[in-house]
Each structure stands twice: as C-alpha cells, then as structure tokens.
Amino acid sequence: MKLYRAKISTIAEETIRTLSQEGLIEVLPESREEAEKDLVAIMDEYVRRDMEFRNAIKDDMAARNVPYDQYGRVRSRLAEERNHPLGDDVERYLTRQFIENLLISPNIDEVYGEDKDLHRQIIAILRGHHVDEREIREEAMEKIKNVREGTVDYEIALQNAMREVRKRRGLT
C-alpha cells in the first residue's frame, strides 16, 4: 500500500466516523476533530518516515555503486534492518498504530470494540483507499508510447506522465 498525503484526512475522518457508527468507539462531538488529527499525525509520521527511507535507499545505492535494477533487493534489505513496513505490512502497521492511539487518546471517550473488531474495520477502510500503482503506471505508459523504452527520455516522460495521472485522480 502506498499512502498519499491527499488521502490522509479522508482516511482519518472515515475511520473515526465508521468506528463510532459501528459502536466500537465513543467520541464526543467536540473531540471528533482532535481524534481525527491524532490519526492524521500517525499517517503523516509514516509518510515522513517512508520518504526518509526512500532517500536512505538511494544514498545506500549511490555509496555502494549498486545499479538501479537492484533497487528491490536493497529496499528489502534496508526495510528489514530498519524495521520499515512494506506492501501489505503498511496496512497492518497503520492499523496497529491506530488501535494503540484509540486506546490511549484523551480524545476518544471510550473504546467498546475488541482489538480484532477494530482491526477488521480499520483494515477495510485502509484497503478502500488503496491505490493500484500498477494501474497508474500502465495508464502513464499508454500516454508515452511514442518514446523509446529503456532510454533516459523514456524514464523522464514516464515520471511526468505518472505525475499527471496521480494529479488527475486527486492523489497529489
């Protein structure tokens, strides 16, 4: 899962609203906004940490003179070393963070649901906001068919096209 900043406040609002409607938590109306801000802070911290992680991968590859085709291996190794969640682990990581926050937050009046019920609801919300990166990449590749693949121009055009697709979908 890739978490986009544009979706963070929507996810936080939907999480608090859904958990409240399902009777899993109780939030006073005057505390709802602060409860949402708590979840936004968790996701913002994850995004910041993820950007830091991506930069560390690039730095590591540059320092070791590793070719770009080894990016996945370097990424996996560093994720293991730094205990950084990747893929579906991001959803589970955020879910655990949300549940921990719900249990200790002064902005949540009461937690009625069991962890497994909270987990199920939060995972469903996060998956509902999942963005298929492959689909974005394929759409971007359709836009740049006139550029020869494997060239620097192709990579630049692909990044620009992907940026356009993300912008059009409201992800940036």
pLDDT (tens digit per residue) in 8-33: 999 999 999 999 999 999 999 999 99
Query: What confidence tens digit (pLDDT) does each residue in 33-69 have?
Result: 999 999 999 999 999 999 999 999 999 999 999 888 8
- Alpha carbon distance 54, 57 (integer Å): 5
Which SS3 state, helix, strand or coil, does residue 50 take?
A: helix
- Beta-sheet pairing, 25-26 with 110-111: antiparallel
Q: Specify the pLDDT at position 4.
A: 87
- Alpha carbon distance 75, 70 (integer Å): 9
Q: How confident is the model at residue 149 (pLDDT cuts 50, 70, 90)?
A: confident
